[in-house]
Amino acid sequence: MRHLYLLAFLLVAAPGFADSFRGFLLTRDGYQLTGYLNILQYSPGGNTITFTNDFGDEYVIHPFLVKGFGFNYEGEAMRFVSRRHEGLWYFLQEEVQGRGITLFRLPQGGASWLDDRMLRLFRDPPPEYYFEYGEGKFLPVARMGYKRTLRQFFRQASPALADKIGSRGYRYRNMHEIVAEFNERSLRKRRRL
């Protein structure tokens, strides 16, 4: 009986037909498959993307199967990577790219290529922001405790920036500016050497 309720919920929660966007998937072995990306949606195991290849075959792709994907949306290049966090796999959108830190964000919002209704049902929602630094190291930055996390993270590389975290202009909503400033500072240090 429980299975019938779950099936009914999934049918009601299933999105309608969304726009398709010409793009690509990057496989684990480095191949690029072209086709159309239809919709990214959340599931109990993380999130998935519906992909239609150039032959018209439709697939639901889980993040552990590919390195990432990309497409153009309203003239803007959208790039996503697959990453694992606390046992779940997610496609994360690249927000700020830099030599020191790259900022990724969990896709959320009302775009026509995204269905995040299931994300709201998570008991413990995943963090919105993620840093990638060094040789593929990965740091989730949750809203709760972000000041402590960022201060510890920046303490050794940029103590002046670490001291500003939490003050005006250096809050959670200013994550893009914080990462951009860190990348600028680290670039200046490299030039002096």
Domain count, the chain: 2
What was the pLDDT predicted at 189? 63
Q: Is residue 42 part of a domain?
A: yes
* 45-76 residue pLDDT tens: 788 999 999 999 999 999 999 999 999 888 88
Sequence letter at residue 137: K
Q: Is residue 178 part of a domain?
A: yes
If you average pLDDT over residues 161-188, what whole number do you get?
Answer: 91
**Residues sharing a CB contact under 8 Å with residue 37, sequence separation 6 or more, in sequence order:** 20, 21, 23, 49, 50, 51, 69, 71, 113
- How many CB atoms neighbour CB 134 within 10 A? 10
CA distance 1 to 51: 32
Q: Is residue 12 part of a domain?
A: yes
- Whether residue 96 sits in one domain with residue 58: yes
Q: What is the phi/psi pair of residue 113, to 5°?
A: -95, 5
Structural domain boundaries, residue 73: 2-124
Q: What is the pTM of this model?
A: 0.79
What was the pLDDT predicted at 1? 45
